[in-house]
């Protein structure tokens, strides 16, 4: 093993800085109510923080490792496909923002499942949401660990297992220390690192190819299909494009770890700023990283594992010390996603399951604090072990599979819950069960329906189930319905 010290030093300095931010968040946490502070940061986010934490939570190993890897393999068509994601922040915050915040404050909700119970007044809805969230998050978090392992393995020369272990130690400790406030503050810093790193990496890649004209000529020589809208092997058909729009744009309304951001901002002005800034940042990151992935094919044409394209490209086109500084960009993308999912998973088990069974335990704040932080570390250890076992060559498919499961469960329950006063628990339960079950069956058995991703028919089935179930159920007599 040959350790690349020039890359290691700036990365270590960056991680120490992140720990410093987490410690600052811990000091702030000590002065507030634990649950409210640990899980939603006392609802104190301004517009810039809201934008950066929402973008950073969504932009993950899939966008910085898996997405560019797919662009490397399939060509410019994947860059076009990736731009479907750009309106995601506007759509999520615009659809959920104000109604979510009003209902959360009125009912003192600090998790998505708190809101579901306040709206539907039914514990079965909450339990179904908890189970589906934990299963889907497990898959998504494993993806982040594998991405981090490949990143450190390729750039530092560490064995893959060591890389996973180091990442687990870092992510577990700083999430353990700081909670939601640490996540938001580090997300903001990491978002800015991602932005600068993306721009510089794309510029360095263009210089290495000799300019865009030379790059296109080289790509055309390697495989002319790299320059077509449908990509290599005609993978990117019209129905695939439609599926992708549903999966990574419209369907994102149903992702709990991004939706929870709509509960934690300070005021309406912060929401509007967050939508504007977030959409601009999202555009730069998505376009820049996926374009770098395609152009990398002209610089390093023979990679066996597409997911290694970004760390390999950084090592190729940047000086070692500079590469070490901007290794923080993809690392930031991974950390900023997994920390949010760890917090959400912990809140699901503690706030939504444990406290619903033992409500009197809420008065023992010391015990809740110990359980919450211990669970965060426990999750981290389990995920690290699983990530070491037979990782796939392309992360993006596993990540998108988990996305679809969450969307099939949560999308209609959240949208109808906020916008339809007549929505009831029967409709919600029918939608969650039908949507998730149909998604699992279609995905597992690889049932081909007009080349659509499994999430599209699953959402249609979930929608029909909600409408039918809603007709069968009783209207909810809840004091919170006047907010809708």
Instruction: Give the per-residue pLDDT at 39.
Output: 47
What pLDDT does 477 receive? Answer: 62
pLDDT of residue 478: 55
Q: Output the pTM of the full model.
A: 0.86
pLDDT of residue 183: 65
Q: How far apart (Å, rounded) are the C-alpha atoms in residues 172 and 339? A: 8
CATH number of 5-396: 1.20.1730.10
Give the pLDDT means over successive 10-residue stretches in the chain (484 positions): 74 81 68 49 67 79 85 96 92 85 82 88 93 89 88 86 90 68 70 86 95 96 95 89 91 80 80 92 95 97 90 90 77 73 81 81 76 84 90 79 93 93 95 97 89 93 97 72 52
Residue 34: the pLDDT is 47
Give the pLDDT confidence score for residue 429 in this predicted structure: 97
Measure the CA–CA gap between 307 and 310, rounded to whole angstroms.
Answer: 7
CB atoms within 10 A of CB 32: 14
3-state per-residue secondary structure call for 149-173: HHHHHHHHCCCHHHHHHHHHHHHHH
Tokens of 226: 């790299």
- For residue 199, count CB atoms less than 10 angstroms from its CB and return exposed for 0-12, middle for 13-18, buried for 19 or more: middle
């Amino acid at each position: 093993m040959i350790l690349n010290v020039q890359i290691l030093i700036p990365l270590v300095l960056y991680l120490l800085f992140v720990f410093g931010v987490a410690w600052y968040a811990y000091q702030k946490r000590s002065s507030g109510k634990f649950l409210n502070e640990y899980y939603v940061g006392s609802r104190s986010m301004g517009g810039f923080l809201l934008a950066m934490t929402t973008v950073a939570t969504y932009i993950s190993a899939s966008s910085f490792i898996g997405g560019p890897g797919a662009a490397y393999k399939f060509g410019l068509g994947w860059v076009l496909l990736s731009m479907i994601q750009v309106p995601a922040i506007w759509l999520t915050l615009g659809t959920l923002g104000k109604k979510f915040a009003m209902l959360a404050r009125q009912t003192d909700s600090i998790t998505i499942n708190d809101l579901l119970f306040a709206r539907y007044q039914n514990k079965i809805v909450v339990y179904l949401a908890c189970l589906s969230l934990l299963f889907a998050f497990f898959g998504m978090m494993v993806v982040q660990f594998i991405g981090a392992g490949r990143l450190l393995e390729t750039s530092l020369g560490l064995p893959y297992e060591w890389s996973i272990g180091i990442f687990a130690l870092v992510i577990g400790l700083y999430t353990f220390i700081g909670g939601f406030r640490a996540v938001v503050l580090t997300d903001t810093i990491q978002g800015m690192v991602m932005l600068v790193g993306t721009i510089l990496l794309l510029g360095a890649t263009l210089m290495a190819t000799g300019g865009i004209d030379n790059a296109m000529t080289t790509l055309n020589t390697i495989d002319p299909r790299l320059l077509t809208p449908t990509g290599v092997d005609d993978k990117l058909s019209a129905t695939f494009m439609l599926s992708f729009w549903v999966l990574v744009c419209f369907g994102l309304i149903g992702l709990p770890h991004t939706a929870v951001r709509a509960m934690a901002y300070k005021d309406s002005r912060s929401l509007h700023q967050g939508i504007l800034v977030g959409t601009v940042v999202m555009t730069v990151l998505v376009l820049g990283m996926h374009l770098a992935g395609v152009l990398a094919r002209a610089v390093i044409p023979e990679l066996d594992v597409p997911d290694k394209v970004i760390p390999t490209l950084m090592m190729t086109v940047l000086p070692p010390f500079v590469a070490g500084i901007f290794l923080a960009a993809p690392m930031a993308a991974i950390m900023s996603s997994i920390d949010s999912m760890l917090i959400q998973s912990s809140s699901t088990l503690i706030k939504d399951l444990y406290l619903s069974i033992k409500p009197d335990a809420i008065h023992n704040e010391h015990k809740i604090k110990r359980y919450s932080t211990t669970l965060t570390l426990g999750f981290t250890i389990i995920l690290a072990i699983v990530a070491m076992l037979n990782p796939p060559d392309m992360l993006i498919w596993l990540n998108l599979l988990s996305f679809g499961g969450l969307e099939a469960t949560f999308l209609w329950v959240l949208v109808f819950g906020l916008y339809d006063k007549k929505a009831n628990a029967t409709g919600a339960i029918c939608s969650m069960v039908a949507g998730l079950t149909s998604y699992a069956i279609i995905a597992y058995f690889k049932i081909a329906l007009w080349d659509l991703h499994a999430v599209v028919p699953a959402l249609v089935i979930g929608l029909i189930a909600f409408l039918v179930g809603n007709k069968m159920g009783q209207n909810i007599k809840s004091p919170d319905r006047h907010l809708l």
